[in-house]
Copies of this chain bind each other. A is one copy, B any other.
Amino acid sequence: MIGGKRAVVLLSGGLDSATVLAIAQSENFDCYALSFAYGQRHDAELDAADRIAFKYGVIDHLTLNIELGRIGGSALTDMYMDIPQRQQQGIPTTYVPARNTVFLSYALGWAEVLEASDIFIGVNAIDYAGYPDCRPEYIAAFQTMARLATRMTVEGREIAIRTPLIHLSKAEIINRGHALGVDYSLTVSCYQADERGRACGVCDSCRLRKAGFDAANMSDPARYSSS
């Protein structure tokens, strides 16, 4: 491998993953951003991912079309299911079955090809407590599996799954990103943003974001369709 240490950074275009990319850059990784078109309603996120990757000057940005939505089971990919507008009990209908596992699996493959040592993902165990694949014990188990899955283990190298946001509140994430100079106007968090990237302001993800900016005593630079 020629050059510095490499990281694959999962980049959705939302607030969390933009912050994670800034953190990876601050650790002097050569960053390779990975995004997915998986049938989600909010394609505006992918446009945001493009803008963020460009702004940060990542080495490469790969957006894969992966048809995950075809297996169904989520309000995020099924046009016949409603996006919930208030907190739900248990696992929310916006949960996409095995999404983080699929995303991390691709990241693992790309990391292997790139000989990257780290994979960054913006999972959060506080705001997304209802999502089983955002829990620390899940990430630990993925890392154990990942070490056995690839030629890296055979060759004595290691791969680290990095989750710098996992125990932070949304306000703490925003403060961290702010300190690193993240331009949150580039990000889109809404589950049902319109084609111009304007957020609905009422879905779970919008409410979490708004509450985070409020708690951080900052104004949210996102554009809302209602404002």
Tally of chain A residues near chain B (CB < 8 A): 43
Asked whether any CB of chain B lies closer than 8 Å to the CB of A137, the reply is yes
Contacts of A71 in B (CB 8 A): 62, 64, 106, 109-110, 113
Is A132 an interface position by the 8 A CB rule?
yes
- A73 on interface, CB distance cutoff 8 Å: yes
Does B97 contact A109, Cβ atoms closer than 8 Å? yes
A91-115 interface code vs B (CB 8 A; 1 in, 0 out) = 1000111111110011011101100
Interface window among A45-53, A150-158, A193-201: A150-158
Chain A binding surface, main DSSP class: helix
Q: What are 26 contact pairs spanning A and B, CB under 8 A? A: A64-B70, A65-B65, A71-B110, A73-B112, A90-B154, A91-B151, A97-B109, A97-B151, A98-B105, A98-B106, A98-B108, A98-B109, A98-B150, A100-B149, A101-B145, A101-B149, A102-B106, A132-B148, A132-B149, A132-B150, A132-B153, A133-B148, A133-B149, A135-B148, A138-B148, A141-B141
